[in-house]
């Protein structure tokens, strides 16, 4: 029997590439998103079914899981990929923007995880893949809110793996660096506050190099391939970095003051 994967945020980018890769490798795919009617590209592919799922709406999560089980008869892995990036000076962010960032990137991921756990425990197997970021291990300027959510994903996932090992449920963390997807256009929001202009020169200095990093990056397929490895390698390995080995080594071995200076120099913010 074919194995089945459920993916959140599958309409575009990394989630979309992951759905296509698993289908090509003979898995059945429950591709979930807030507006599945807009994903005609996936709906035309055999063995991919699109379901509505909003990670901030628990009832939609329950319905999507139930519909996937009804359609395919099983779920073997879940990829928590849905998310977006709130960027810009922290001082400019409203309470509503901050809550939305955490509701999607942290509480949404937790909602999906909590709803799939009873099923995984009952079948005594399953894999939960949480897409974090290199931004869950290191930080860059203007990403304080996004980083805070991804650091939360890292801590949650690392602790959770202790609890779930007894049920043969594996937890995996994916840590992409810059990836060329529509994240920087569709899934990124820049915060602004009327009358707050003191950060403008700092933003103008950093923005071009940060955009260039994404323009020069590999596309989402490299992340999809890493997710494939995480789901299928049969190991208890927790973290999988993507295009980030060098910077993570630098963060580990350089003194903080030196590492921070490197980041500022590379981004043009010295």
Q: Which residues are catalytic?
A: 146
Q: Which two tokens stand for residue 270?
A: 């010295």
Which DSSP helix (H) or strand (E) runs through 46?
Answer: none
Q: Say how many CA atoms lie within 13 Å of 127 toward its Cβ.
A: 25
Output DSSP code: residue 192.
-
Q: By 3-state DSSP, what share of the chain in percent is helix, strand and coil, each rounded to 5?
A: 55, 15, 30
Residue with tokens 């400019």: 92
Q: Which two tokens stand for residue 112?
A: 């999906």
28 φ, ψ to 5°?
A: -85, 145
- Cα 80 to its chain centre, rounded Å, is 6
Q: Name every residue whose Cβ is closer than 8 Å to that of residue 119 and which is 6 or more positions away in sequence.
A: 65, 69, 75, 126
Q: Which two tokens stand for residue 118?
A: 């009873």
Find the distance separating the first CA and the last CA of the chain, reported in whole Å: 57
Rounded to whole angstroms, the Cα distance separating 15 from 147 reads 20
Rounded to whole angstroms, the Cα distance separating 270 from 263 reads 9
E-strand ranges in 167-224 read 169-176, 188-190
Whole-number CA gyration radius for the chain:
19
């Amino acid at each position: 029997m074919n194995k089945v994967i459920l993916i959140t945020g599958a309409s575009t980018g990394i989630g979309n590439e992951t759905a296509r890769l698993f289908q090509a490798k003979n898995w059945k795919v429950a591709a979930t998103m807030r507006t599945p009617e807009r994903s005609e590209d996936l709906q035309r592919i055999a063995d991919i079914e699109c379901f509505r799922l909003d990670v901030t709406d628990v009832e939609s999560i329950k319905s999507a899981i139930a519909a996937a089980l009804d359609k395919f008869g099983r779920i073997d892995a879940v990829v928590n990929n849905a998310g977006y990036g709130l960027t810009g000076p922290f001082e400019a962010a409203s309470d509503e923007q901050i809550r939305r960032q955490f509701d999607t990137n942290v509480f949404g991921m937790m909602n999906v995880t909590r709803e799939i756990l009873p099923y995984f425990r009952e079948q005594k197997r399953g894999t939960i893949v949480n897409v974090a970021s290199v931004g869950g291990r290191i930080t860059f300027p203007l990403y304080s809110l996004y980083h805070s959510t991804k650091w939360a994903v890292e801590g949650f996932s690392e602790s959770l793996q202790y609890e779930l090992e007894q049920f043969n449920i594996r937890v995996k963390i994916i840590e992409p660096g810059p990836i060329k997807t529509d994240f920087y256009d569709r899934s990124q929001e820049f915060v602004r506050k009327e009358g707050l202009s003191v950060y403008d020169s700092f933003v103008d200095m950093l923005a071009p190099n940060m955009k260039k990093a994404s323009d020069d990056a590999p596309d989402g397929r490299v992340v999809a391939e890493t997710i494939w490895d995480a789901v299928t390698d049969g190991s208890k390995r927790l973290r999988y970095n993507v295009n980030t080995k060098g910077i993570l080594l630098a963060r580990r071995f350089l003194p903080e003051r030196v590492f921070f200076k490197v980041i500022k120099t590379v981004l043009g913010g010295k």
